[in-house]
Structure 1
């Protein structure tokens, strides 16, 4: 059994994956696939729909500087008449927002407006004097932090910050009480979360700074709200609201025209429904046509806030494969891209694997770069050393392999992300097709 905790103020809301928790599952109508490619990847897409693992799926993949291949099957929802899944369907990418925020920070490092090991307190004064819990499991007793919290720490989940999906004990209750839940699930949960969640990115970061850390900065990898706090650093250092910075420096230059913090009314028809697997039942918990993402968020969640198409996420990855340039437009220097996708973990810190349900990778020995994991060794016949990427809580997957010049985006929307072995299946299929 898996539980996804979201809380706001005194109300702790849980979505518990047990059979029948949200009524009866809807059976997917029979559909024809809309594949625009051949071989293993399209077959995988068809199989996932035929086997009722997902109502619809889109996979974008390519090698080198080539345009993406798209393999798509099914529809964006179980309901009759739902649009077919395709390259421009919209999906909640949740934590696949994190690499985008990380790369935005790297742009400012390239600009000289940020430094990798610069204290976050230079941009958010509340972080200048942090405290660390002395007994995290039992109390909120603290001591002074051994060192300042830095940009590197936020990028790599080594800041000592928590996350309501993994933090436990008294600190979790403080995160819940203060509304430190930068994510959207569905309108009902959102109503509760907004009772306590800060109303701006500045207020969010300032409130986080009042809370103790779970460990000294730079000493432990722990999945966290670090990329959400980093979004505030980006807007302070960049001199623009975070969402405007991304639009100006990344989305517009890369022609990412289907990337949203909230889905416009005119685009709702191509927005997928998100599902929850409860045993063998697939339950709609956030229908696309009545989604929480149809309204603006409390603030742009740099760790989990974007809705995107497979085509758009592929353009982001394509730029990284090309070391900062796409369609003749350069947004980053090659050296900056290589640094972003290198192992940035502080000395002595080890990243073993992503928490269950986070959408992160699990494979060979890994380090951590700017908002995503980094392979420290290659896989024979698969991803090479230096492969960088991350996944989303609703099953989405993305990676780029700089050795083999391979990039892949997989779009589905269901909880939990590891209900099916989609990541392993996609890696096997992509490398089999691209080897031909």
Structure 2
């Protein structure tokens, strides 16, 4: 089916999925006071959580009460303490089942930090090198070509001036494009070859709006097809949001000798205690799955109803750049593991060295994020880095980040697209800052 854009309702695949990077969001949580004593720990205190986080609570109330979203769950925690949550709304409009810490959300590009950390595990074990040429792992990338004109002809090209490296892939500096970012012939070529930025829905009306393309049937096919197309920038010269994190899924398969999905399960999810994070939601868990909505002229339109969700089907390939579904509790455990520098509940999922490197600014020398989705920050392994913070946001309104200086982790979970339809992600960051700042002042007083 031919691709179509409907500007009057702003529901194109580009506008929907691109929101995964617009804010870079939670990584802005910086300069906060430290101290786990600021968060309630007893059940009696937990009932007072709204009083402790009035700005966050007000944000949640405002969005749900106005029916801008069906639900919203905010989750915060200090260090290795249990998380605190403020939740409101139901899994879907018209349903009675409340959303909460164990509800399931399409986290889209919040998958990227998970894939980034999986890559860091292999780098730490010596199975990959941060500055290792990609072609040593995937030979098809040995002689890459680059468009002479950005988003111009895909046949008017020049040779790449340097090899793509693993660092480039981790930091969106490989020069690889993205069908949710590019325009013109390169975008068309991505779509026709199934180099797709993410799944949204299998409803006929949604497919008619977004375009109906057959995704590459495997990560191997995805990687091979991507290698056949020119880069949009010279490697190592510019930050450009891209399919590079999806490509890392294939790199992980080759370097580890096991499937990407299996590697995530055994090396990150199981040791971290993440029991509700999948590329495909099991049929037994559909009762926890939220509905995803499109915002059209201020009205919520079901894009991916839970019981008809595309995430109940086996995906063509596991997309490490935007394919995961998770719960607030699970993603908080991932963030808690990072704050523990690889350890959680007495188990070690990663080495401290791997976490410290992956959450630091590893941009190639001379590359700036100015004028990009990640403006004003550095970039680590699949996530934005700024003043002790590391994190990223998702296309359906979610946010997840840690601040190592403050020992704080924070997440926002809701489901609407495109994410820039509302400023919820940036407002959440500001709300957490305001409430934690007030707590610190009250404690000092």
TM-score (norm 2): 0.85
Which secondary structure state, in structure 1, belongs to the residue aligned with residue 364 of structure 2? coil
Provide the residue aligned with 1:84 in structure 2.
98
Q: What is the aligned residue count?
A: 398
Q: 1:80 & 1:285 partners in 2: Cα distance?
A: 16
Q: Which residue number corresponds to residue 380 of structure 2?
A: 369
Conserved? CA contact 1:389–1:398, under 8 Å: yes
In the alignment, the residues of structure 2 paired with residue 251 and residue 269 of structure 1 have an alpha-carbon distance, to the nearest angstrom, of: 21
Q: Is 1:185 aligned to 2:200, yes or no? A: yes
> How far does the alpha carbon of each residue in 1:28-48 deviate from its partner, in whole angstroms, 9 at most, with x for none?
xxxxxx978223223322222
Point out the structure with the larger helix share: 2
Structure 2 CA distance, aligned partners of 1:311 and 1:49?
20
Per-residue CA deviations over 1:382-421 (Å, capped at 9, x if unaligned) read: xxx1211100111101111111111111101101112222
Matched, 1:207 2:225: yes
CA apart distance, 1:13 = 4.4
Partner of 2:179: 164
1:333 and 1:226 mapped to 2: Cα distance?
24
Instruction: Give the conservation status (yes or no) of the 8 Å contact 1:57–1:73.
Output: yes
Q: Note closer, same or farther for the CA distance 1:36–1:150 as it changes in structure 2 (3 Å cut).
A: farther
* Kept after mapping to 1: 8 A contact 2:191/2:213: no
Give the 3-state SS of the residue equivalent to 2:178 in structure 1: coil
Q: Tell me by how many angstroms 1:79 deviates.
A: 2.2
The 5-angstrom pairing of residues 292-331 of structure 1 reads 292-331=310-349
**Over residues 294-340 of structure 1, what are the superposed CA-to-partner deviations in whole Å (9 max), with x where a residue is unaligned?**
10100100101000000000000001111110001011121211111
Residue 244 of structure 1 aligns to a residue whose secondary structure is helix
CA drift of 1:424 comes to 2.7
Distance 1:17 1:253 in 2: 47
Note if contact 1:20-1:281 (Cα within 8 Å) is conserved in structure 2: no
Q: 1:407 to 1:43 in 2, by over 3 A?
A: same
Q: Distance in 1 between matches of 2:213 and 2:88?
A: 39
Which of the residues 103, 110, 133 maps onto 2:124? 110
Structure 1 residue 64: Cα displacement: 1.9
Shift of 1:196: 3.6
Aligned residues of 1:93 and 1:306 also touching (Cα < 8 A): yes
Q: Distance between the aligned counterparts of 1:146 and 1:302, measured in 2?
A: 27
CA distance in structure 2 between the partners assigned to 1:338 and 1:20 by the alignment: 39
Aligned runs of 1:351-370 on 2, under 5 Å? 351-352=369-370, 355=373, 365-370=376-381
Which runs of 5 or more structure 2 residues have no equivalent in the other structure? 13-45, 440-445
TM-score by length of 1: 0.87
CA distance in 1, matches of 2:120, 2:112: 12
Distance change >3 Å, CA 108–CA 137, structure 1 → 2: closer
- Residues 329-360 of structure 1 show CA distances to partners (whole Å, capped at 9, x for unaligned) of 011121211111111111111113654xxxxx
CA distance in 1, matches of 2:378, 2:145: 27
In the alignment, structure 1 segments of 5+ residues that lack a partner are 1-9, 22-33, 356-360, 376-384
